[in-house]
Structure formats: C-alpha cells, structure tokens
C-alpha cells in the first residue's frame, strides 16, 4: 500500500513541475526529462508489480496449472480404469456367453442321451414282449397239439373198436394210439 502512495506522490510532483512551466506534460514531447521520468515511473511500477503482483499471479498460475495437470492425470486414470472395467465386463460377457452355450450343448447331449436310452429301453421292452409272445404262442401251440393228439387218440380208438368189433381196454387203446401218433410225428418232423 505504501508503494502505491509513493507512486501517486511521484506523479503529483511531476505534474506540479510541469504546471510550473505552464504546460501539461505530453508523452509526445521529445524532452529527455519526460522520457527519463517515464522510464523511472515504469521501473518503479514494474518493481512494485514484481514485488507484490507478479509473484502471487505466477503462484496462482502455477497452482492452477498443477490443478489442471492433476485433473488431467485423474481423468486419464479414470479413463484407464473405465477401459479396464469395460474390458473386464466384455470378458465376463464373453465368459457368460460361452458358459450359456456350454449349458445348451450339455442339455442337447443329455437330451440325445435320454432319447437313446429311452429308445434302447423301448427296444429291449419290445424284444421282451416279442419273446413272451413267442413263448405264449409256443405254449398254446403245444396245448393245441396235445389236444389234437388226444382227440386223434380218441377218434382212433373209436375207429379201431368199430373195426375190430371187440373191445380193447382203454390203456391198450391209448398205448397203441400214442405209438401210432409218435410214429406219424417222427415221420413228419
């Protein structure tokens, strides 16, 4: 504050000196005293500004530059973190897609396996049913053959008793008829 007062006092002295000569000082006048005082005032103002204004301005500019640099560095850091997170997110999405595809493939394979097992079980069951049917057919066939033999024996006995006109015992008839049927079966078989 004291330097501003001394500067204003210096300007008053110059103005008073010029007023004594009867004219106002002009910068366009080629007087050396004017030039000399102009340079002295400039130097004093420059020193005052250097002492009180330039250093704080420079410090504020440096502080501002540092804040801007730190902000840019933080922005770069945040950008790098965002890029890393984006890459990680993409990687996770790719893994999730791969896992989903793997689950789908496993499901398809399991469905195919179940289908094959069901078809195999159905085929086995069909074979068992077919075998049972063949056994039942063979059983019924044997029963039918036995019944036909029985009927044949009885018809043969009846026919033989009519032909011979004598009575043969039932055991004789059966033995005789069984022998005849066995012979006929062996000849055809």
Residues 63, 165: Cα–Cα separation, whole Å: 148
| Residues contacting residue 178 through CB under 8 Å, at least 6 positions apart | 153
pLDDT digits (tens, 9 = 90+) for 109-144: 988 999 898 888 888 988 888 888 888 888 888 888
- Kindly state the percentage of the chain with pLDDT values over 90: 29
Three-class secondary structure of residue 76 per DSSP: helix
pLDDT value of residue 43:
92
Residue 168: φ, ψ to 5°: -105, 145
Q: What whole-number distance in Å separates Cα of residue 23 and Cα of residue 21?
A: 6
Residue with tokens 């493939």: 105
C-alpha distances out from residue 68 to 71, 82, 94, 121, Å = 5, 20, 38, 77
pLDDT at residue 92 greater than cutoff 70: yes
Question: Would you say 27 and 18 are in contact if contact means Cβ atoms under 8 Å apart?
Answer: no
Quick check: helix, strand or coil at residue 133? helix
Tell me the domain boundaries of the chain.
Answer: 149-188
DSSP state of 166: S
Q: What is the pLDDT of residue 50?
A: 83
- Model confidence over 8-44: pLDDT tens digits? 666 666 556 555 555 555 555 556 777 788 899 999 9
Give the orientation angle of helix 2-21 with respect to helix 32-48, to 10 degrees.
170
Whether 168 has a pLDDT exceeding 80, the answer reads no
Instruction: Report the Cα 116 to chain-centroid distance in Å.
Output: 30
């Amino acid at each position: 504050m004291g330097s501003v007062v001394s500067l204003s006092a210096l300007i008053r002295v110059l103005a008073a000196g010029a007023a004594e000569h009867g004219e106002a000082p002009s910068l366009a006048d080629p007087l050396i005293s004017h030039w000399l005082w102009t340079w002295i005032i400039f130097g004093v103002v420059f020193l005052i500004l250097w002492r009180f204004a330039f250093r704080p301005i420079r410090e504020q500019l440096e502080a501002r530059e540092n804040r801007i640099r730190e902000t840019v560095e933080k922005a770069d850091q945040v950008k790098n973190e965002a890029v890393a997170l984006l890459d990680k997110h993409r990687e996770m999405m790719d893994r999730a897609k791969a896992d989903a595809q793997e689950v789908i493939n496993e499901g398809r394979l399991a469905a195919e396996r179940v289908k094959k097992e069901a078809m195999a079980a159905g085929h086995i069951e069909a074979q068992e049913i077919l075998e049972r049917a063949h056994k039942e057919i063979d059983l019924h066939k044997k029963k039918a053959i036995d019944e036909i033999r029985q009927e044949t024996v009885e018809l043969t006995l009846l026919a033989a008793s009519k032909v011979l006109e004598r009575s043969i015992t039932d055991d004789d008839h059966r033995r005789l008829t069984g022998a005849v049927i066995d012979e006929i079966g062996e000849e055809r078989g």
